[in-house]
């Protein structure tokens, strides 16, 4: 509550959070959107470790709630514009950080990578996505997977469904059976979850190569195969509960747990929520498979922390980044968060149930890795915002041709 009060005073009265909070040489303010079950506990575990290693320093958790960080990002933008940054803040790996780099809001920490030897323990593809113009600006704490479909085995048994669908066409066939038995095939949440669904449909219908070409400008949004994928997305929405969409991803999953909906497409932070908050057992009370059409593909995102320009305690911020990138820090955080470590040398024995399966998939050399749209990897902020606006209209009017033309044009204008 104290953090929320400070934010309100800052936004309404025009005072900086620093002025309200009072200057202090023994505190580190870290800004994130981790307020939900699992993620909040994971951050608290790392914060406790940081305080233990830095006697007399108080960790100030400036987290702001809101699915996918939408609320937190808006407030952070105001603070950065006012030159009032926290000591470190959360971003997703990839092009989400591009604007901050180009506007000089974050510091190059390539030297910290050399000091800690991180290039040897973070996967090359991940480091490549963190590198902008030859420099590195953020430290990853985890790896998440976006392309997952969640369900309860009990509900499938009740409906006589042998297994989750392997393709989106098969999903639509199952949806007819599900509807006939008085249930909803797919639970969805607010706008960002509908975008998350879109990227998994595109991935499943287009395949990894064409999916990546779409974000690199090599594939046209108006190509026949993309038009067909968008048409599939509209059909999927039609058998979902989008007209009464859940308020966030947790209530979205609650509908699957209750059995009123059969499936939900969501990232693997879902596992922590289902196991820890709902008390369900992996493969008994809940389960997941790759979203239809994406078996063997890992649609990744990664949470990272930065060193902002103008941080009041850059020395403490650098120590925090070391904590984030350390083996101990990642092993404290990830089992609670419901993610796997970014480090390749983390002890696999610590990761059980869903996380054990995820880590095995991530480390399998046969797994194809692609980046998430919704969670900041493959599209810059301006383009992502334009996709958000166009998708909101598409969900309402179903005009996939207009959507394709709009995002095609905006790609050219936002690069």
Convert the pLDDT of each residue in 279-302 to its tens digit.
Answer: 999 999 999 999 999 999 999 999
Which residues 6+ apart lie within 8 Å of 29 measured at CB?
17, 21, 60, 62, 86, 87, 88, 312
pLDDT at position 338: 86
| Phi then psi dihedrals of residue 152, to 5 deg | -110, 130
pLDDT of 23 reads 41
Q: Which two tokens stand for residue 305?
A: 């922390």
Q: In the prediction, which pLDDT does 71 show?
A: 85
**Buried-exposed string 226-247: b where 16+ CB fall within 10 A, e elsewhere:** bbebbebbebbbebbbbeebbe
What does the pLDDT read at residue 125?
A: 83
* Cα distance between residue 304 and residue 342, in whole Å: 10
The answer to whether 283 touches 302, Cβ cutoff 8 Å, is no
Residue 359's H or E segment, with its range, is: helix 353-363
Tell me the three state secondary structure of residue 246.
Answer: coil
In CATH terms, the superfamily for domain 145-299+373-414 is: Periplasmic binding protein-like II (3.40.190.10)
Residues of the chain with CATH 3.40.190.10: 2-144+301-365, 145-299+373-414
pLDDT of residue 336: 87
Model pLDDT, residue 8 = 29
DSSP 127-138: HHHHEETTEE-E
Q: Report yes or no: 321 and 307 within 8 Å, Cβ to Cβ.
A: yes
| Tokens (6 digits) for 335 | 């089992």
Exposed/middle/buried for residue 309 (C-beta within 10 Å: 0-12, 13-18, 19+): middle
**Which segments in the chain show pLDDT lower than 50?**
1-23
Helix boundaries (H) for 223-352: 224-238, 249-258, 269-272, 314-325, 327-337
> CB under 8 Å, gap of 24 or more: what pairs does 97-105 form?
97/130, 97/132, 97/137, 97/138, 97/304, 97/306, 97/376, 98/132, 98/380, 98/381, 99/380, 99/381, 99/382, 100/137, 100/306, 101/132, 101/133, 101/135, 101/137, 104/309, 105/80, 105/308, 105/309
Question: How many Cβ atoms sit within 10 Å of the Cβ of residue 342?
Answer: 27
What DSSP state is assigned to residue 119? G
Contacts of 154 (CB under 8 A, 6+ apart): 259, 285
Q: If DSSP codes are grouped into helix, strand and coil, which group holds residue 165?
A: coil
- Total-model pTM: 0.87
Return the CATH number of the domain spanning residue range 2-144+301-365.
Answer: 3.40.190.10
């Amino acid at each position: 509550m104290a953090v929320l009060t400070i934010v309100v005073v800052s936004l309404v009265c025009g005072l900086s959070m620093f002025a309200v909070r009072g200057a202090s040489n023994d505190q580190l303010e870290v800004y994130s959107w981790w307020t939900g079950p699992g993620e909040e506990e994971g951050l608290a575990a790392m914060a406790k470790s940081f305080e233990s290693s830095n006697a007399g320093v108080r960790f100030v958790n400036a987290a702001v709630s809101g699915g996918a960080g939408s609320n937190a990002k808006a407030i952070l933008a105001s603070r950065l514009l006012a030159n009032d940054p926290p000591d470190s803040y959360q971003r997703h790996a990839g092009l989400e950080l591009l604007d901050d780099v180009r506007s000089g809001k974050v510091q190059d920490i390539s030297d910290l990578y050399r000091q800690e030897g991180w290039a040897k323990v973070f996967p090359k593809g991940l480091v490549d996505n963190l590198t902008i113009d030859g420099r590195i600006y953020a430290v990853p704490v985890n790896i998440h997977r976006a392309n997952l479909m969640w369900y309860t085995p009990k509900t499938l048994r009740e409906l006589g469904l042998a297994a989750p669908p392997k393709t989106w066409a098969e999903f639509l066939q199952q949806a007819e059976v599900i509807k006939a038995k008085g249930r909803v095939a797919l639970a969805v949440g607010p706008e960002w979850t509908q975008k998350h669904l879109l990227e998994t449909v595109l991935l499943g219908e287009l395949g990894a190569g064409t999916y990546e070409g779409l974000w690199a400008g090599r594939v046209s949004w108006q190509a026949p195969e993309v038009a067909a994928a968008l048409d599939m997305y509209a059909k999927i929405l039609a058998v979902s509960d989008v007209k009464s969409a859940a308020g966030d991803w947790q209530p979205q999953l609650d509908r699957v747990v209750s059995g009123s909906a059969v499936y939900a497409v969501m990232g693997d932070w879902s596992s922590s929520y289902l196991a820890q908050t709902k008390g369900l057992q992996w493969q008994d009370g809940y389960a997941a498979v790759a979203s239809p059409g994406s078996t063997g593909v890992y649609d990744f995102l990664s949470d990272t922390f930065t060193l902002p320009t103008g941080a009041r305690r850059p020395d403490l911020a650098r120590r925090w980044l070391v904590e984030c990138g350390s083996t101990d820090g990642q092993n404290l955080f990830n089992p609670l968060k419901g993610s796997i470590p970014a480090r390749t040398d983390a002890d696999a024995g610590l990761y059980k149930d869903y996380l054990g399966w995820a880590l095995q998939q991530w480390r399998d050399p046969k797994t194809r890795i692609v980046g998430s749209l919704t969670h900041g990897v493959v599209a810059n902020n301006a383009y992502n915002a334009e996709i958000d606006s166009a998708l909101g209209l598409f969900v309402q009017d179903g005009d996939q041709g207009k959507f394709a033309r709009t995002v095609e044009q905006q790609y050219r204008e936002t690069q």
